Amino acid sequence: MSDLSQIVKAYDVRGTVPDQWDERAAEALGAAFTQLLNSTDEPGDAVVVGYDMRATSPGLAAAFAAGVRAEGRSVIEIGLASTDLLYFASGSLDLPGAMFTASHNPAQYNGIKMCRSGARPIGQESGLAEIRERAQALLDSGEARPAGEPTRPTDKRDLLPDYAGYLRKLVDLSGIRPLKVVVDAGNGMGGFTVPTVLGAAALSPLPLEIVPLYFELDGSFPNHEANPLDPANLVDLQRAVVEHGADIGLAFDGDADRCFVVDERGEPVSPSAITALVAARELAKHPGSTVIHGLITSSAVAEIIREHGGQPVVARVGHSFIKAEMARTNAVFGGEHSAHYYFRDFWFADTGMLAAMHTLAALGEQSLPLSVLAGEYERYIASGEINSTVADQAAAVADVRAAYPDAVADEMDGLTLRFPDGAWFNLRASNTEPLLRLNVEAPTRDRMVSLRDDVLDRVRR
């Protein structure tokens, strides 16, 4: 019997199939999700369901849909989809949705990202805990859902052309200079969406020459993990950009809601620089607007937002916190160090594709190479995220805090210490593993390395 507390995380459902969860658990979760919607008078009488390329995704999605239908709502099945395509469906149809994906996790994993109508997020504090309790009660009673067969219909729709058309209206790429673009889809859903949005299958041709890497949909990930946050998974893209003399490289994660960028030299462009670049573009269209940035994005992000007349607002790490803060402030844009990018014009949801299009537009509207353009938004030296396995996380954090009594402390999300010379670090615990995650930034490399090594030495004693 599935113990749903092992797979229902802070923002979504995630676990190995079939040992941690299976189609019976998926059906119970579908019924519980619909019970929550019905109890809160969620508008509409249908739920949108999409899934990624993993071998287990169609079966899990079908079981979830049966649970939804048993509780009295119909299902709109959009089939293969990226997560941001599911958000587009939820937003444009104003219906709740469920996306079956484990994002960048290995092949044996699968999961569900659920949202309310208008792509509003569901996390532990906004319904996910209740869904878990309801579904667990169904499983414990021996029923995956209440007795009786599903009676509501399933409607199959292809929304990929509508999604592509919507994004193309938000960012017009038709007038940019010709660009050669290497795209590494990692055998994930970028291989499904990129051709229709940017490539040969696009509604109208763009001045882009797309060089595809690993566009074949394959949930076993035969080439490399679909997790561009790990530098090892960028190596093929970096090599291909240089070999093809490309202007830019793009790497999508498994469900294609995140996008990483590589410049013409094959060097990664930090997500903080992309956040600042897109923020500047959005502020040019919407002067004076609020822009949300994650707690551990570069200090340059807030500086550049202010320089372009915007109002920077910091938020905790995690999409539910970013989305909630964006909705509260009506922010035009939001970005995180993990390469999640959120747009008011996209129902405050995250879409790697739209961020990629903004980057292509910024590059193609002028003649500078990407390394020079991105350099305008890179002002500090960052360590990247470094994980340490620590049994007593609280003691380790307390020891680090005591070592820097004169630093300015912030405990919004873990421990952030800031120093008079502009250096800072954030040390925070993982929600799911015995890990402490460290991010360090400083004005110079020597200062960053010195601070990084000193903190790690204290954490790992």
195 and 259 co-located in one domain: yes
What pLDDT is stored for residue 370 in this prediction? 98
Cα separation, 326 vs 349, in Å, equals: 9
What pLDDT is stored for residue 151 in this prediction? 64
CA dihedral 50, 29, 139, 21 (to 10 degrees): 50
Task: Give the end of a domain, one of 347, 376, 405.
Answer: 376
pLDDT under 70: residue ranges of the chain: 1, 144-151, 431-432
Q: Return the structure tokens found at 197.
A: 């949005």
Cα separation, 216 vs 73, in Å, equals: 34
137 and 237 co-located in one domain: no
255 and 296 co-located in one domain: no
Cα separation, 338 vs 368, in Å, equals: 26
Q: What is the CATH number of the domain that holds 413?
A: 3.30.310.50
99 and 219 co-located in one domain: no
What pLDDT is stored for residue 201 in this prediction? 83
What pLDDT is stored for residue 376 in this prediction? 96
Cis previous bond, 18, omega within 30: yes
97 and 183 co-located in one domain: no
Catalytic, out of 103, 298, 299, 338: 103
For 118, the domain range is 4-157
151 and 35 co-located in one domain: yes
What pLDDT is stored for residue 332 in this prediction? 98
23 and 47 co-located in one domain: yes
What pLDDT is stored for residue 203 in this prediction? 79
- The number of distinct structural domains making up the chain is 4
Residue 204 CB partners (closer than 8 Å, separation 6+): 168, 174
Positive/negative CA dihedral, 110, 87, 281, 191: positive
What pLDDT is stored for residue 17 in this prediction? 97
Task: Give the end of a domain, one of 376, 393, 417.
Answer: 376
Span 217-263, pLDDT tens digits: 999 999 999 999 899 999 999 999 999 999 999 999 999 999 999 99
240 and 298 co-located in one domain: no
8 and 153 co-located in one domain: yes
Span 297-320, pLDDT tens digits: 999 999 999 999 999 999 988 777
308 and 431 co-located in one domain: no
252 and 329 co-located in one domain: no
What pLDDT is stored for residue 1 in this prediction? 59
Active site residue 2: no
359 and 313 co-located in one domain: yes
Looking at the DSSP bridge assignments, the partners of residue 341 are: 335
Cα separation, 197 vs 268, in Å, equals: 23
Cα separation, 241 vs 179, in Å, equals: 12
Q: What is the CATH number of the domain that holds 168?
A: 3.40.120.10
Cα separation, 314 vs 275, in Å, equals: 13
Task: Give the end of a domain, one of 243, 265, 287.
Answer: 265
